[in-house]
Structure 1
Amino acid sequence: MTARTKYQPDVRQAMAAHPGYRRLFAPGEITLGLIMPLETYAEGCMPTMRNHLATARHAEEIGIPGLWLLDIPFFDPSYGAAGQLFEPLTYMAALAMVTEKIALGTTGIVLPFRDPHLFAKQMASVDQLSGGRCLAGLSLGDRRDEYPLFGIDFDTRAERFREIFRLYRTVSEHDRPAFSSDLFGNSPGGFDMLPKPPFARTPTIAINGAGQSLDWVAREMEGIMVPISEPERLAEMVAEWRAAQPDDAFKPVSIVGFLHLEEDPDHPFERDREGFHVGSRALARFMEQAREAGVSHFAMNPRYTRRPMEEVLFELERDVLPHFPALEETD
């Protein structure tokens, strides 16, 4: 175990100071986020990525609190999704340069594929460059066929996740730490990974639990993001998460799903295999239910909506964002 050093953060203070975290999460509140790319394409697997930076700027201008980026290293035609095409941390850096306030997160980095030391440097770098607007959503990865491409054992990926996470935290949050790992090298101490996170810790969010026990996630990470469920299940889900907390610290529950935004603004919430169908005013009513249940954030992927992205943003601005704005402006 690495000894505590003067750099190791007070987690509550770090989250209270982090602009991206503050923009999305607060007790008793709920915010809205969009999963990249900001493009609707119900047919096919590939987005065009036309005008994508301008669309991200527009999303920020109308008050969208957060954008989330997928991590899909290899395109598998049988799976049918290529995400936003660009590597997420590289793309996050580009988005940070063309926006000023919007929170930028990953949903999520497939951690077993990452070297922990370089990931620590990459994540701290984009968090620094963005002024503390980045959140590290971390996932286990569920595409078995992708693991052989990296020479990694699929069946031990949960243990590998924990080891990478341990080292990521060690090198990013300690000064010149000593560490030892059977998988990722050793250091006697004296070497430092720079830069450090700008607000002492970059928030980590477990995507769909990241293949870990709820108790582990509640103890080690700053929040959890899970697939959207029926409205009547939300309060039970939040209660299970809160029961796993080791103390009374606020750690948010977020939900995620594919948005099919219907033309009728009062089209009721309906689950389907690929997410949910809903109208814009009905979406605001669902988000109020989710807030009452204790959900803190709703990340929506607009890909399958059969309407132009311009209409989606217009209706979110008109009917949803006035009720659920970003929580704080960044400095």
Structure 2
Amino acid sequence: MSKFNAGQLSALDRIRKPEGGLTLGIELPLDNDWSPEREARRIRENRPFGVPDLADYPDLVRQVDRSGFAAVWMRDVPVFDPNNFGDAGSVYDPFVNLGFLAGITENVALGTAAIVLPLRHPMMVAKAAASVDQLSGGRLILGVASGDRPVEYPLLGLDFEQRGEAFRSAVSYLRDAWKTDGLPIGDGRVEPSLDLLPKPQQTQISMIIAGQGRQSPDWIAANMEGRFVYPNGLERLAAQAHDWRAARQALDLPRGAFVSAFHLDLADDPNEPATPRRFGARTGRNAFVEHLNALEDAGVDHLALLLRPSRRPLNEVIDELARDILPTLNAQSPSAKTAAE
């Protein structure tokens, strides 16, 4: 684990280019159980739909880390609800998973998309997040949300309708706990005889919001360093990115990061045209590069790729993305274009 210093990239800087441009990450779980062949295998193995096969997960994460991707992302799904949602997400507890990833990776930012803050006591979130940041050498991006699964709240004796207020309170607590000597105990009070350790390795752990968190755009711009939005059409993404940056600029804050996702089935034939599917497409790499360029023009800083629909082995897909697409994005970044001119 390296020590963080002023010359080292922050976790947020790993997913955004200084002059603008697009970076790619990978969303967990690393399986391809949404392909037709793997769906048939799941049925033969009598596994529930939505529960991924994680047998190759550690090796694939290591491949992602050494291949030049900017980040890996995981979701927070405490309870598998096959009747209403049918998707177990990344399966593992996110903070346990982050600790594991900190030990087997060296380069990628480690992102959550997103921790459902009202379901956890903020003191424990603050300690867990700071621990991951230390163990990973300052690579944590804490994506946060208020949650969209009503079934989880009654199980914990919590009020689903109060999640917006609980979310704001948790964000405030996290900021105080990470920077304050002493233990925050509510209402702005601090108990100086106690402390919450460790403190983060980064000067500040960046928080990005997934969805709206039941908050106003002005609050989001003032309190979050980034937005993670659902996959959407180019015009909608461009409008969201513009509004995000305008709100930050109005507050005289840095531009932060604008993040979205894409469900990718990368075809063998690089010239295969794109066939849209929900939240993504089946496409050859040439059409995919064109789409990535359009996303960059729309103001997207980072795109998290979910590979679960992939019909090809994931190690092959990751290799092609790293070999043939990541260098293209780097070559076409604004700074590279300026240097070439």
Instruction: Give TM-score, length-normalised by structure 2.
Output: 0.85
* Cα distance, 1:158–1:269 mapped onto 2, change above 3 Å: farther
- In 1, are the aligned partners of 2:182 and 2:190 still within 8 Å (CA)? no
2:63 to 58, 67, 85: 58
Q: Secondary structure at the match of 2:263?
A: strand
Partner of 2:30: 38
1:71 aligns with 2:49: no
Alignment partners' CA distance in 1, 2:198 and 2:113: 23
Tell whether 2:224 aligns with 1:232. Answer: no
Q: 1:286-297 maps to which residues of 2 (within 5 A)?
A: 286-297=291-302
Inter-CA distance 232–279: structure 2 relative to 1 (3 Å threshold): farther
Instruction: Give, in whole Å, the separation in 2 of the partners of 1:16 and 1:235.
Output: 32
- 1:320 alignment counterpart: 325
The code of the aligned residue for 2:209 comes to A
Q: Secondary structure at the match of 1:311?
A: helix
**Is the 1:284–1:319 Cα contact (8 Å) retained in structure 2?**
no
**Which whole-Å CA distance do the structure 2 matches of 1:202 and 1:16 have between them?**
16
Is 1:259 aligned to residue 250 of structure 2?
no
The residue identity in structure 2 corresponding to 1:147 is Y
Which residue in 1 is equivalent to 2:21? 29
Cα distance change of structure 1 residues 211 and 259 upon mapping to structure 2, 3 Å threshold = farther
| CA–CA separation in structure 2 for the residues paired with 1:110 and 1:227 | 16
1:281 Cα offset (Å)? 2.2
**Do residues 307 (structure 1) and 312 (structure 2) align?**
yes
How far apart in 2 are the matches of 1:201 and 1:132?
Answer: 9
Cα gap change, 1:143 to 1:112, in 2 (>3 Å): same
Query: Hey, what's the Cα distance between the residues in 2 that align with 1:175 and 1:17?
Result: 24
Compare relative contact order (CA 8 Å, sep 6+) and give the higher one, 1 or 2.
Answer: 1
The alignment status of 1:243 with 2:234, answered yes or no, reads no
Q: CA RMSD in A?
A: 2.4
Q: Residue type matched to 1:107 in 2? A: A
Q: 1:146 to 1:177 in 2, by over 3 A?
A: closer
Structure 2 unmatched runs, 5+ = 40-48, 334-341
Query: For residues 72 and 12 of structure 2, what CA distance do their matches in structure 1 show?
Result: 12
Residue 235 of structure 1, CA deviation: 2.2
Deviations 1:135-179 (A, max 9, x none): 101111111112111111111111111111111111112121554
What is the number of residues matched between the two proteins? 312
Tell me the alpha carbon deviations over residues 284-303 of structure 1, each in whole angstroms, 9 at most, x when there is no partner.
Answer: 22111111221100011111
Greater mean deviation of Cα atoms: 148-157 or 266-275: 266-275
The answer to whether the Cα contact below 8 Å between 1:67 and 1:102 also exists between their aligned partners in 2 is: yes
Looking at structure 2, the residues matched to 142 and 202 of structure 1 have their Cα atoms a distance apart, in angstroms, of 24
Instruction: Determine helix, strand or coil for the equivalent of 2:176.
Output: helix
Q: Residues 180 and 247 of structure 1: is their aligned pair in 2 closer, same or farther, counting only changes over 3 Å?
A: same
Distance 2:109 2:203 in 1: 17
- d(CA) in 2 for partners of 1:48 and 1:311? 17
**Structure 2 residue 97 is matched with structure 1 residue 94:** no
1:156 aligned onto 2:173: no
Kept in 2, the 8 Å contact 1:18–1:199? The answer is no
> Structure 2: how far apart are the matches of 1:265 and 1:143?
39
